[in-house]
Structure 1
Amino acid sequence: MDKPINLLAQRTDCMLHYVEPAIADIPRAGWIGGNAPEFFDNPAHLLDLGGRTYLFYLSFVHPFQPGRMISIFIPEEYEEYLEHNMYPDCPIKVIEHPLSAESHIETYTNAGLRKHHITTGEPCTDDKSVERSFLIKVGGTPRLLQNETYYSAKLEEEAFSFFFQVDEDGYPDTLLQGDGSYLLGFGALYVYAHIGTKGIGHPVAGFWQFS
């Protein structure tokens, strides 16, 4: 565990994940679009919807905790998270849970996203990552669209640190289908977590920005 913790703390190296068409029987780090993980089929694990309707966005294997994965769900109504785009009020859900295969049930499926695989992480220096298009960047320094300190002020006050970002700049042309749109306004979601010597816990949607 020490190596990934140091990687996140030093902000000089990162891991990049990309998107590729979903091909059966080829193991990958996760998927974007398609159905939510089977984990959420269990009534005991249903989302706390808070009166909102949520759609599944993506799931990928936790980069530092074997046997765990992270799933992201976004409110169906754009205005609900447009007006609340920063912690602690951001309604986008980031959930850590045990490894789970994709469900056959379409409870949370977003018809505007065609399922694609998320590749395994590739090491990269933080400087070089600035020049690349990626779906997920783990560690390093967040690549911000608006470099304003107020976005992370509350997070830092509560001892959260940058964990990873999901960036729509990394979408392939084949990802959106039908009436599908850029859920983040061709922007990025920044996920923060409590990061310490004993591990990484409590990931949250820190904020999101659009271009």
Structure 2
Amino acid sequence: MCGRYSFSTSKAKLEAELGTTLEIEDDELQYNYNIAPTQRAYIVSNQAPGALQLFQWGLIPSWSKDPKMGGKMINARAETVLEKPAFRNAIRQRRCLVLADSFYEWKKEGKDKTPFRILPAQGELLVMGGIWETWRGEGKVIHSFSIITTGPNAEMMPIHDRMPLVLPDRESRQLWLEERNPALIEEMLHVPADGLLKMYQVSDTVNSVRNNGEELHEGL
């Protein structure tokens, strides 16, 4: 799964990799070194492909009676996303790019869990495939998203048996936002190619969402 990630990226880098001009300044970007479920984070949706939007992490289906349901739906498995009632409409109609610089994963060794920071091998923007929804109720409107996960590629396999769906280039990102054919969407739901990522061990201070600063990116 993907249960924690980070965003600390400049406007120039976002614009260069997304191929668009963003109406936001560097000092307006909200950096978060320890993004956790139910927090708001940056996405680019198929509804507004030229804009950064802050949506809540943890998809709340439009038909749900309980907005707290989103905390349990931070990931959508690629193998079942086209069939699951909570996800099947969103994957066909409401896809998004989830923007990050890295994600964290914990390697289990007996009773111990060792945290690793995982990021694109060449320092690129980390763009993950996601789906989004709009929930209305209790006098409020909540825009939320889930991150699509797949089985592991070669570099992730020693760490964990799941990983985010990584969209490594403009072509794959554009297809993710624009494609409408369910069969072609399904073709995109594959394990990311080997060699896309690098990783290193970080301090277990990342375990607590109360910790949030540049030091979380420091290797051991």
Shorter-chain-normalised TM-score: which range?
Answer: under 0.3
Q: TM-score normalized by structure 2?
A: 0.26
RCO (CA 8 Å, sep 6+): is it higher in 1 or 2?
Answer: 1
Q: TM-score normalized by structure 1?
A: 0.26
